[in-house]
């Protein structure tokens, strides 16, 4: 089958799966029963939460494609940049130092500032001889993510229980009641990010082949790396502000879609965005369906439970292919 036709079929399938996941999220009741919401208010709450899930999944899926292509590393993901850990640390420090109460600093704004500060630090420390170096960027990102995550846990442990950040900032989950203005802004940024990465698809195809091939094709690697890291950073910040740190999604969705449609980055980023939205919606539906006396499972936990086995299957499938 010709590659463009195959990509179109895969994208149509992913769009249908996303629509099905959206319908399931609107209909799911605690305990797993399916029923249309009893009131318009309930429908509105579920729809807002579902839209947040679509935005988060779209942003992380697209960010994962950009990072894996630009860093030529199959394990690259938005978590690699340390942005999620930076957001958690910023919220924790704002609570611990009293900034949340004294100056009215919202958790979401603290998370955004922390995520972008972590991105800036990774980009600063990940440079060698004035150029962004993929391997150094990976190592710096991993080291900072571990360090900031550990520091946030240590600060949270010594804080009084009443001042500690909610679980959303440590486990990642969708929440009810996200303001419409925030949803609208996040949605615009997510769509713009996906469009930007897709527009640079041919340049990413060349960059993924190697530095010599990219330069022979006239691709300005330094500028492209900076561009993609910044776009991935903004997309990750959007997701963190809406749902806290969601692990694995930005790692596994590009691999799943690449296995289905091939490595061309133009359609791949759209497919990974759709797969991310479907995975977030399905995970949130499962979290709502599971009855727990202590409350609802965080969406990020369910995402990890679904994504980790899927990634293992993909990697084993790729390893078993000849050549």
The per-residue pLDDT string of the chain (323 residues; one tens digit each, 9 = 90 and over) reads 677 888 999 999 999 999 999 999 999 988 788 889 989 999 999 999 999 999 999 999 999 999 888 887 777 888 878 888 898 898 888 888 887 777 777 877 888 888 888 888 988 888 877 777 778 888 898 999 999 989 988 998 888 887 777 667 778 899 888 899 989 999 999 999 999 999 999 999 888 877 777 777 788 888 888 888 889 988 998 998 899 889 889 999 999 999 999 889 999 999 999 999 999 999 999 999 987 777 788 999 999 999 888 888 877 776 666 55
**Rounded Cα distance, 197 and 272, in Å:** 12
Residue 268's CATH number: 1.10.3470.10
Does 212 fall in a domain? yes
Residue 198 covered by a domain: yes
Rounded CA gap, 305 and 291, in Å?
17
Instruction: Answer yes or no: is 33 within a domain.
Output: no
**Does residue 84 sit within a domain?**
yes
Residue 308's Cβ-count burial label (10 Å; 0-12, 13-18, 19+) is middle
Res 209: pLDDT: 78
Nearest to 277 by CA among 61, 48, 29, 43: 61
Domain span at residue 269 reads 3-18+43-316
Is 141 domain-assigned?
yes
241 sits in which H/E element: helix 221-243
Residue 32 in any domain: the answer is no
Q: How many structural domains are present in the chain?
A: 1
Q: What is the pTM of this model?
A: 0.90
pLDDT of residue 244: 87
Q: DSSP letters along 208-222, please?
A: HH-HHHHHHTT--HH
Q: Count how many residues are written for the chain.
A: 323
Question: Does residue 34 lie within any of the structural domains?
Answer: no
Asked if the structure places residue 24 within a domain, the reply is no
pLDDT at 322: 56
């Amino acid at each position: 089958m010709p590659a463009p036709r195959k990509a179109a079929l895969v994208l149509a399938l992913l769009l249908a799966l996303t629509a099905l996941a959206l319908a399931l999220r609107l209909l799911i009741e605690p305990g797993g029963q399916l029923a249309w919401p009893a009131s318009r208010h309930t429908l509105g709450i579920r729809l807002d939460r579902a839209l947040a899930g679509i935005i988060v999944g779209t942003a992380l899926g697209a960010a994962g494609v950009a990072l894996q292509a630009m860093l030529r590393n199959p394990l690259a993901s938005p978590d690699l940049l340390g942005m999620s850990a930076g957001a958690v640390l910023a919220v924790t420090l704002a609570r611990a130092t009293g900034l949340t109460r004294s100056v009215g600093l919202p958790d979401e704004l603290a998370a955004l500032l922390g995520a972008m500060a972590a991105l800036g630090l990774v980009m600063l420390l990940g440079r060698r001889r004035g150029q962004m170096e993929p391997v150094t960027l990976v190592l710096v990102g991993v080291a900072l993510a571990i360090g900031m995550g550990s520091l946030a846990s240590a600060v949270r442990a010594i804080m009084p229980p009443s001042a500690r950040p909610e679980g959303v900032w440590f486990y990642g989950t969708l929440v009810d009641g996200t303001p419409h203005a925030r949803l609208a802004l996040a949605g615009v940024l997510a769509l713009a990010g996906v469009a930007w990465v897709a527009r640079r698809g041919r340049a990413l195809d060349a960059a993924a082949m190697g530095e010599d091939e990219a330069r022979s094709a006239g691709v300005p690697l330094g500028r492209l790396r900076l561009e993609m890291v910044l776009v991935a950073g903004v997309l990750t910040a959007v997701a963190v502000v809406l749902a806290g740190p969601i692990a694995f999604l930005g790692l596994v969705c590009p691999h799943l879609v690449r296995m289905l449609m091939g490595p061309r980055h133009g359609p791949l980023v759209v497919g990974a965005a759709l797969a991310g939205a479907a995975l977030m919606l399905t995970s949130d539906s499962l979290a709502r369906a599971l009855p727990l006396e202590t409350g609802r499972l965080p969406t990020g936990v369910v995402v990890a439970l679904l994504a980790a086995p899927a990634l293992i299957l993909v990697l084993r499938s790729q390893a078993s292919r000849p050549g």
